[in-house]
Amino acid sequence: MSSVKIKRIYEAPDKSDGYRMLIDRLWPRGVKKENAAIDEWNKDIASSSELREWFGHDPEKFKEFTARYTKELHNKNDELKQIAGIAKKQNLTLLYGAKDTEHNQAVVLQKVLSKMI
């Protein structure tokens, strides 16, 4: 059974990661592209720049961020289906750069994808 995991891109890659997809719109600081060990950089599935800037990684705004990002994701149905298709075939690890491991877009996307597979 495959799974959808989330992981900071700064953590070392692991064989159990499976398909590694960076889901940030901006490239993470301090990470060299040649050392990132990613299979795909999917900027399109990231939250919009406007939403990202509004959220500012403020935990108090996370509930509203979740609602707004989920709404954005519903407009990206083809992209979601493609990503869910990867997750159905193999483990998928969603990579993100945020320091906060509980309040970020990967947490939201993981929940949405888990309902699809």
Q: pLDDT (tens digit, 9 = 90+) per residue, 17-59?
A: 999 999 999 999 999 998 899 999 999 999 999 999 999 999 9
Residue with tokens 């990613």: 38
Mean per-residue pLDDT over the chain, rounded: 95
Tally of domains within the chain? 1
pLDDT band at 60 (very low <50, low <70, confident <90, very high): very high
Q: What share of the chain is helix, strand, coil (3-state, %, to 5)?
A: 45, 15, 40
| Predicted TM-score (pTM) of this structure | 0.95
State residue 99's pLDDT score. Answer: 96
State residue 1's pLDDT score. Answer: 55
pLDDT band at 101 (very low <50, low <70, confident <90, very high): very high
Structure tokens at 81: 């289906």
State residue 115's pLDDT score. Answer: 93
Q: For residue 16, what are the CA distances in angstroms to 10, 48, 78?
A: 16, 30, 26
* Residue 50 CB burial class (10 angstroms; 0-12, 13-18, ≥19): exposed
Residue range of the domain that includes 81:
4-116
Buried b (16+ CB within 10 A) or exposed e, 11-46: eeeeeebbbbbbbbbeeeeebeeeebebbebbeebb
